[in-house]
Structure 1
Amino acid sequence: MGELSGADKLDYVKSKIGEYVDFPKKGIVFRDIFGALTDGKACVYLRDLLAHHIRITCPDVELIVGLDSRGFLFNLLLATELGTGCAAIRKKGKLAGEVVAVEYQLEYGSDTFELQRSAIKPGQRVVIVDDLLATGGSLLAATALVRKVGGVVLECLVVMELLGLEGRKKLDCNVHALIKY
C-alpha cells in the first residue's frame, strides 16, 4: 500500500477530532483538536498537511508564530520540519523581557496578547499558526502584534475554521484552514 493522498490524510485527521455538544455551554458544538493529537498517525498526517501547505504557499517563510495555547502545539513542530525559527504570542504577563501588547475582544469581554519585541526582526516573513479560527479576535490581535514589531504576515494557518462565525472577514491577510465546519 502506497503513501496516502493529502485528502486521505485530511479525512483521517478530521475523523479523530472530538466533537462535544453543549460545551462549554448549551448550543455550542466544541471541536477538540486533542482527540486527533492522541493518535500518532493523525499527528504525523497533520504535520505533513500543515508543512506541505506552507512549503507550497509561503516558501520564503522565516518564522512560525504560535498562539497561546494550542498554536504552541504546531509552531515548534512546523519550524523544525521547515528549518525556520519559531516564536510565541502569549496571554498578558507570561513573557519575560520587553513585550508589545494588543488587547482583543472575546465573546464576553476582552483579553490581551503579548509578543517579545525581539522575537521578530523588522521585515521578517511570518506564518501565524493556531488550532482554530472562530470569531477572528485572537488572529486579528496576533497579526497586529507581528506588524507592530515590523514583521510581515504571509498567512494565518489554522487546523479548523468555524465558518458560521465569519472570523475570516476580520482579517486582512491570507487565511488557510485545513478543515472547515
Structure 2
Amino acid sequence: MTTTESTPTPAGTSAGGPAPVQAVDVLRAHIRDVPDFPKPGVIFKDIAPLLTTPAAFAVVIDALADTVDGHGATVVAAIEARGFLLAAPVAYRLGVGVVPIRKQGKLPGETISRTYDLEYGTATLEVQTDAFRPGDRVLLVDDVLATGGTALAAAELVRQSGVEVAGLAVLMELMFLSGRDRLAPLAISSIMEV
C-alpha cells in the first residue's frame, strides 16, 4: 500500500462524495477490532493504530477533509472524544475554526446539554452557549457513525445554539446499525462503510 501519492483514485464509497480508494485501504489496515469493549457483545473499532502511524493518519485526514469540502462549513464541531483527534486537523485543512462538543461537566462557563442513548448506555453532551457565531454552518466530525445517537445529540445542540448543521463527517459508518436513518436528511460523509 502506498501512502505518499498526491492524487488518490476515487472509489465512490462516501455519501458526501467519492472517497479515495487509498484512504479506504489505509483505514482498513489501521483499524483494530476489540471484542466485548466497553461491554460484552460490542465490537469496539480502535483507531489507535491509525493515530500512531503518521503517514496513514495524514492520508485519512486529507481524505476526510476532501469528502466534506463542499459542505460550506464555517466551523467544525468535534464530538468527544475521538472526534477531537480528527476534527482539529480537518478544520485546519478547511481553514476554519473548531469547537468541542464535550461530555457533561467538562466545559467551563454557560453550556447547553443533550442526553441521549448509546448502543451500550446513556450519555450527555454539552457545548458552550457562545461557541458559535450567527450564520455559522457547522460540520460535525467523529470517528464512527453507529446508532446515530451521539451524532443526533450533537446536531440538536448545534441547532439549539441557533446555527445550521452543514453535515456529519466520519471515518467509518457501521451500516448494520442504521444510524444514517436517524439523522436523515443530514448530509453524511464517510470514508469507509462496515
Relative to the length of structure 2, the TM-score reads 0.86
- Count of aligned pairs: 179
Question: How far has the Cα of 1:4 moved from its partner?
Answer: 5.3
The 5-angstrom pairing of residues 1-181 of structure 1 reads 3=6, 5=8, 6-55=20-69, 57-58=70-71, 60-172=72-184, 173-181=186-194
Q: Which residues of structure 2 form unaligned runs of 5+? A: 9-19
Q: Distance in 2 between matches of 1:89 and 1:2?
A: 34
Whether the 8 Å contact between 2:64 and 2:190 is mirrored in structure 1 is no
Q: Distance in 2 between matches of 1:11 and 1:101?
A: 37
Q: How big is the alpha-carbon RMSD for the aligned residues of Structure 1 and Structure 2?
A: 1.6
Q: Distance in 1 between matches of 2:112 and 2:136?
A: 17
Relative to the length of structure 1, the TM-score reads 0.92
Q: Distance in 2 between matches of 1:16 and 1:163?
A: 19
Whether the 8 Å contact between 2:171 and 2:192 is mirrored in structure 1 is yes
Identity of aligned residues (%): 39
Letter in 2 for 1:144: E
Q: Which has the higher contact order (CA 8 A, sep 6+)?
A: 2
Letter in 2 for 1:70: R
Q: Distance in 2 between matches of 1:68 and 1:50?
A: 17
Q: Which residues of structure 1 form unaligned runs of 5+? A: none
Q: What SS does the aligned partner of 2:105 have?
A: coil
Runs of 4+ in structure 1 deviating by more than 6 angstroms, as ranges, are none
